[in-house]
């Protein structure tokens, strides 16, 4: 009993394996990763029939079929209405379907299904995802927090992208060298109207311990690059100038006003001045 079950399982595996490997090879779908609203887009479906007769090529978006090619029927193409999909029949062929004037609702998973005719009826399916993007505008915004510019202190900041769907990728560069963000958040766009695909604002934070090389000739250059696939890039730059340490008082036993002046210099100076104050007050 157990043996038969196992045999049956092996036979089934065999059939699946044979069906899979005999013919109709190398089905591949080439769908652009991202395009802009209004574009005309070619979706490619390549396959190798290995001598089998072609029965159909069908294109789906999600679960809905929108285009069918049937070489043995007339007309040999059929188009099914689907919102956001306008097939350009004159430019479509067994290996490509052209969509005119794509919209954000055209975003989604596209599937090509190729079937061969009798006697084997092989079928193979491949998919690809395409984003249709409303061209964003705006530049990333940089906010810097600084405790102090002294070695050992931390320089940190946030970069916020303009809102977009899908969200922007942000990259920080410090002195033209890429640095990894210490945290990345995706916040809802407060101005977005209710929609299925909510645009998000990306906020990337960096933190950098200041060392002897952070400031070059008294300056540090911070850049934040926002990119949306190969469609849109925008960069913002901030150059910070090192605050030169004020000349130290010549004597530790300065007057009170000297000590007060130190307090504004930096946190370390502040700590020092507290110690100094303690000394003076005693």
| Residue 229 touching ligand NAG (CB under 6 A) | yes
- Only segment of 49-57, 111-119, 184-192, 253-261 that touches ligand NAG (CB under 6 A): 184-192
Q: By CB under 6 A, tell whether 189 contacts ligand NAG.
A: yes
- Is 169 an interacting residue with respect to ligand NAG (CB under 6 A)? yes
The partner residues of 177 in beta bridges, in order of sequence, read 174
3-class DSSP state for residue 258?
helix
Identify the H or E element spanning 16. Answer: helix 2-22
Rg (CA), the chain: 32
Please count the residues of this chain forming the interface with ligand NAG, following the rule CB under 6 A.
Answer: 15
Let me know: does 116 contact 18? Beta carbons within 8 Å: no
175 counts as binding ligand NAG under rule CB under 6 A:
no
16 backbone dihedrals φ, ψ, rounded to 5°? -60, -45
Q: CA dist 126 to 28, 93, 190, Å?
A: 6, 17, 38
Quickly count: other Cβ atoms within 10 Å of residue 223's Cβ. 20
CB of 128 to ligand NAG, least distance (A): 13
Q: Of 266, 173, 161, which is closest to residue 220 (Cα–Cα)?
A: 173
Residue 257 touches ligand NAG, criterion: CB under 6 A: no
Question: Shortest gap between Cβ of 166 and ligand NAG (angstroms)?
Answer: 5
Dihedral of the alpha carbons of 161, 163, 168, 174, in degrees to the nearest 10: 0
**Rounded to the nearest whole angstrom, what is the least distance from the CB of residue 180 to ligand NAG in the complex?**
4
End-to-end CA distance of the chain: 97
Considering beta carbons, is residue 26 or 145 the nearer one to ligand NAG?
Answer: 145
Binding map of ligand NAG across residues 121-160, x = CB under 6 A, - = no contact = ----------------------x-x------------x--
Q: Which is nearer to ligand NAG, 49 or 174 (CB)?
A: 174
250 is an interface residue for ligand NAG by CB under 6 A = no
Name the residue nearer to ligand NAG (CB basis): 87 or 222.
Answer: 222
- What is the maximum alpha-carbon separation in the chain? 104
Is 80 a binder of ligand NAG (CB under 6 A)? no
Where do contacts with ligand NAG occur on this chain (CB under 6 A)?
A: 143, 145, 158, 163, 166, 169, 180, 189-191, 201, 205, 227-229
């Amino acid at each position: 009993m157990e043996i038969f079950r196992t045999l049956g399982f092996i036979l089934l595996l065999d059939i699946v394996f044979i069906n899979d490997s005999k013919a109709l090879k190398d089905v591949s779908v080439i769908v652009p990763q991202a395009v802009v609203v209004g574009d005309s887009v070619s979706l490619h479906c390549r396959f190798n029939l290995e001598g089998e007769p072609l029965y159909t090529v069908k294109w789906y978006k999600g679960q809905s079929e929108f285009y069918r090619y049937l070489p043995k029927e007339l007309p040999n193409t059929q188009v099914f209405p689907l919102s956001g999909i306008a097939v350009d029949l004159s430019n479509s062929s067994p290996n490509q379907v052209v969509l005119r004037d794509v919209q954000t609702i055209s975003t989604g998973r596209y599937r090509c299904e190729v079937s061969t005719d009798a006697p084997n009826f092989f079928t193979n399916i491949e998919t690809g995802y395409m984003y249709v993007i409303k061209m964003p505008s705006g530049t990333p915004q940089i906010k810097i927090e600084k405790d102090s510019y002294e070695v050992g202190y931390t320089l940190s900041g946030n970069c916020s992208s303009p809102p977009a769907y899908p969200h922007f990728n942000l990259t920080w560069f410090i002195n033209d060298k890429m640095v990894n963000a210490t945290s990345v958040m995706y916040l809802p766009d407060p101005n977005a109207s209710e929609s299925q695909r909510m645009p998000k604002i990306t906020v990337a934070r960096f933190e950098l311990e200041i060392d002897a090389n952070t400031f070059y000739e008294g300056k540090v250059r911070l850049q934040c690059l926002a990119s949306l696939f190969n469609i849109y890039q925008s960069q913002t730059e901030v150059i910070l100038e090192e605050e030169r340490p004020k000349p130290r008082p010549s004597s530790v036993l300065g007057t009170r006003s000297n000590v007060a002046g130190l307090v504004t210099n930096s946190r370390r100076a502040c700590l020092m001045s507290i110690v100094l104050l303690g000394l003076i007050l005693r």
